[in-house]
Amino acid sequence: MNQPAPITLAELREIQLFAGLTLDGYRWLLPQAEIYSLESLLDIDQEVRTPHGIGAVGFRGEWWPVYCLSGKMQVLRHIPDSRRTCVLLDNHADRLGLICDQVETIAADQRLLELPACMKLPGSPLQALALLNDRLGCVTTTEHLAALLAVYAENSHGC
């Protein structure tokens, strides 16, 4: 599978608002414009599945596959008790749901940092770091999350 091109720090700095998704205590930032809807976990139909998905949400006449990832971006087969909401992500090419502990809006005035060379790993959704008060956040996009999930799906079919 072709990996999406890394997004540049300059492109990330043009984003006006980010959504902060908390997964197991890790803060992941995505462009706010890619958040399409927030849905209840009760809306997930666990009978409608995709590889590595935990179900799907029916939204506006379509099924959106829903995934549960750890804060380290590993696929989880079950929903941890800390998870409270499903974020529907849409970048006009990829549509998916991601189960999160918490979601909040984060102003773009956060200090974004280039990834150190040791963190620039092939296939990683991590595109930059963000200073959030006294903590670091991980910056990604829906495109990079979708590519990661596609790799998981490809690897499971190859076994």
Give per-residue pLDDT as tens, 110-137: 789 999 999 988 889 999 999 988 889 9
Tell me which long-range contacts 73-78 makes (C-beta under 8 A, separation of at least 24).
73/124, 73/125, 73/126, 73/148, 75/149, 75/152, 78/54
The pTM of the full predicted model, rounded to 2 decimals, is 0.90
pLDDT of residue 13 exceeding 70: yes
pLDDT of residue 2 exceeding 80: no
Give per-residue pLDDT as tens, 64-114: 999 999 999 999 999 999 999 999 999 999 999 999 999 999 886 678 999
pLDDT of 159 reads 42
- Compute CA distances 125 → 40, 58, 71, 81, 159, whole Å: 25, 26, 12, 25, 23
pLDDT of 158 reads 47
Task: Please report the domains of the chain, with CATH numbers, ordered by start residue.
Answer: 10-157 (2.40.50.180)
